[in-house]
Structure formats: C-alpha cells, structure tokens
Structure 1
Amino acid sequence: MTGTFTTRTVDVTTGSAETMHDLTNACSAFLREVAHGRDGLLNVFTSYATSGLAIIETGAGSDNDLLAALRGILPADDRRRELHGGPGPGDDHMLPALVPPHATLPVVGGELELGTSQSVVLVTADRGGAAGRVRLSFLG
C-alpha cells in the first residue's frame, strides 16, 4: 500500500513578547481532515527564524518555566550585534538551535499520539512582534 502525503500551512500571530502558541488543536483538526483513521507521521515545521516547536505540558507552569529558562540563556540585551554593526535580534535568532524548528509525531488511528498532558507549541523569542507560518504535513 502506498502512503499519501498531505501538507498545509497555518498562520500564527505571535505578538510582541516571547510566547508559546498551542498548535495541538490545529494539528488535530488537520489530521481529522486528512488522516481518515490511518496511522502515519505528522511533521510540524516553522520557517520563522526566531521560533521553534516543543512538545510540553501547558497551563501547569512548564510553559512559563521554559520561557524563563530561555530568557536566562538568551537574555534580551544588546550583547549580540548584527553583521552590519547595529544591535540586533541575535538572541532571538539563536532560539531554533535550542528549540528545534520541527517535530515529527506519531499518528495512530488518525489521531495525534501525545501523552495525557502534552501539547504541541510554537515557541517564539521574537520581542518585536510578528506573524509566523507553521507547516503541517501528514504521511500515512
């Protein structure tokens, strides 16, 4: 049996502070539409240069703890400079090295296979405010 591949993008407005945007419902809705009860893989990818994707418990404090840890590692100050010499968002652009811009997740019976408290979240460090695009791709 040959697998099928379906992909689409989801636009996300991230705001003007580092944040997490829960993508779990968008992922589940996409799978309901395209997986048709099949097993497979969901790949989630962001091409936004100052974002990454995490699988994390949200709402119980872990999301705030992750943002605080990232602020400690990548403080918002002027210690990093763009190549043209001016202050730049260098810390924001290093986020994907710590929180990868992709995640591949199992799909079983057409549904996302996550732990009880896990969510798929877009993590962004961009303090300038922006919109990001996330690509969802199902192979099953």
Structure 2
Amino acid sequence: MRSQVIEVTTGSKERVYDITSECEAFARTQGDGLLHVFVPHATAGVAIIELGAGSDDDLLAALGDLLPADDRWRHAHGSRGHGRSHVMPGLIPPYATIPVISGKLALGTWQSIAIVDLNVDNRERQVRLSFLSD
C-alpha cells in the first residue's frame, strides 16, 4: 500500500474544500485499485459531492440546519457551537474510498472529493491518501 499526507488550509470559516486534483495527482501513477481518503481529525469529514454549482453551499446550509452553531452542545470549548463540529463526522464520515482504473479516479461526471470542515478554530488539516492496488 502506498500512502501520502497532504496539507490543507481550510481557513477561518465553514468550508467545503475541493481536493479532487490532489487525489487525481496521487492516483495517476498508481494503476488499478482503490484510493482511500482519510482525514485524521475529530471535526472534519470527506464528501463525494458536486462542487461549484451551489451544492457545496447547500451542504453547509443543511448542516447548519441539522447542527446549529448555538450553545446546546455539551462539548463546549472553542468557538460558539464548536460541539457540532464533533458531531458532524457522524453524518459525513472522515473517509471515502474511490475506485481507480488505469490511474484515473472512477468518479461520476459531476462528482468531486471534498473536505467538509465546520471547525473555524482549526484551519490546518492533514489528509491521508492511501492506494491499495489490485
């Protein structure tokens, strides 16, 4: 298995951050197999989603409705509503696995790979890309 860690700066606001190009670059020389994308953070997730057509904003709005940034959370350190960031990976897991065929990600036409980050207190993220060949 081959593995690489990439660094991602998600910034100081809630964000859906596209990592498709980094995943494509890693998979390009690998041949056939599976790309596993993992975010080793308790407050981030990995989503396969259409980006750039409003879906990313819709996802953040839906998460805002499901997980409001208010004072209801028992996990209450950091910025207001920080506890919801720890609940979010229960809905958007911190991993995804994508088939790779001849070095190309077998994503659908409009699918992208994105980091979903509601935690405005942690701007720096690591993402582990692992490739399991057939």
The corresponding residue for 2:89 is: 96
Q: Deviations over 1:50-92 (max 9, x none)?
A: 10000000011111111100010111111113378xx762111
The corresponding residue for 2:18 is: 22
Structure 1 segments of 4+ aligned residues over 4 angstroms from their partners: none
- Number of aligned positions between the proteins: 131
Decide whether the 8 Å contact of 1:58 with 1:119 is kept in 2.
Answer: yes
Decide whether the 8 Å contact of 2:76 with 2:82 is kept in 1.
Answer: no
Q: 2:44 aligns with which of 47, 51, 57?
A: 51
Q: Which runs of 5+ in 2 are unaligned?
A: none
Moved more, 122-131 or 71-80: 122-131
Change (3 A) 1:83 1:60: closer
Decide whether the 8 Å contact of 1:17 with 1:129 is kept in 2.
Answer: no
Q: TM-score normalized by structure 1?
A: 0.88
Distance in 1 of aligned mates of 2:122 and 2:57 = 19
Percent of aligned pairs with the same residue?
A: 53
Shift of 1:104: 0.5
Which amino acid is the alignment partner of residue 43 of structure 1?
Answer: H
Distance in 2 of aligned mates of 1:128 and 1:50 = 10
Residue 11 of structure 2 is aligned to residue 12 of structure 1: no
Q: Which runs of 5+ in 1 are unaligned?
A: none
The RMSD of aligned alpha carbons is: 1.5
Distance in 2 of aligned mates of 1:119 and 1:109 = 18
Decide whether the 8 Å contact of 1:81 with 1:88 is kept in 2.
Answer: no
Q: 1:109 aligns with which of 97, 102, 109?
A: 102
